[in-house]
Amino acid sequence: MLEGFHAVKHALRFGGELLGIWTADPVELEALRQRLAPDLQIQAGVVDAAELKLVVPRAQVVAVAARPAQPDPDTVLAGPGHVVLLEDPRHLGNLGAAIRVAAAAGAAGVMTTGRQDPWHPDALRGSAGLHFALPVHHLRAVRTGERELVALDPAGDPMAPGELPAAAVLAFGTERDGLSDELLAAATRRIALPMSPGVSSLNLATAVAATLYALKLAAA
């Protein structure tokens, strides 16, 4: 389920198969389309505002999309660009925000482990529908292919972006506990984003954003 105009816009723009779109305010939807997505055609059914609010309290437009088939994770790992690995992320909004910045920064894909489904509607809301812009996999176990596994850890060595490989698996830990001992042991490097004295860590999605953009700008 896609909640909100931006999620619907991005799903359409990146080739999502939308099975239905509904709004209670077709005039407002058309105004948004003209202002923010003139490249797209949006055909929405009209529903009662109170009924729509029961399904999606925060959005004026809702859609249902088919979950897209994903390329094999090994194919993604064999290609160019960094892969973001989120180890057991708990907060779906955070998970979605990490996917959003991964898409924006041109990452090759996002892989998650643990209890949360990265395609949960709340994660799609957090990504503004940018799940459709890159491969997003939910794995039973960490896979790295031939890549280096780089652990992002506040207790690691200071990051030197120019020294990292161009196509690594960049691993980020859970919001409360960070990366598992198992993952830290498997990583070839353990690196930290610099922080001011007294600050213990960054928010998960913020750490993904800072890392990807530090690497992107260093490579430019």
Select 52 or 207, whichever has its Cβ closest to ligand SAM: 207
Q: Does 2 contact ligand SAM by CB under 6 A?
A: no
Kindly tell me which residue out of 52, 77, 132, 153 binds ligand SAM, with binding defined by CB under 6 A. 153
Three-class DSSP category at 63: strand
Compute the least distance from the CB of residue 194 to ligand SAM, in Å. Answer: 7
Q: Does 83 contact ligand SAM by CB under 6 A?
A: no
Tokens of 13: 């723009």
Q: Does 192 contact ligand SAM by CB under 6 A?
A: yes
Residues whose CB is less than 8 angstroms from the CB of residue 73 and which lie 6 or more positions away in sequence, other chains included = 109, 111, 135, 137, 139, 143
How many angstroms from the chain centroid is the CA of residue 43?
26
Q: Does 154 contact ligand SAM by CB under 6 A?
A: yes
Compute the least distance from the CB of residue 207 to ligand SAM, in Å. Answer: 3
Task: Give the whole-angstrom CA distance, residue 11 versus residue 197.
Answer: 41
For β-strands 2-3 and 61-65, DSSP reports them as: antiparallel
Kindly tell me which residue out of 204, 209, 212, 214 binds ligand SAM, with binding defined by CB under 6 A. 204
**Amino acid symbol at 40:** L
Task: Give the whole-angstrom CA distance, residue 20 versus residue 31.
Answer: 19
Among positions 19-78, residues that touch ligand SAM (CB under 6 A) are none
Q: Does 118 contact ligand SAM by CB under 6 A?
A: no
Select 133 or 159, whichever has its Cβ closest to ligand SAM: 159
Tokens of 151: 């652990």
Residues that bind ligand SAM (CB under 6 A): 152-154, 172-173, 175, 177-179, 192-193, 195, 201-204, 207
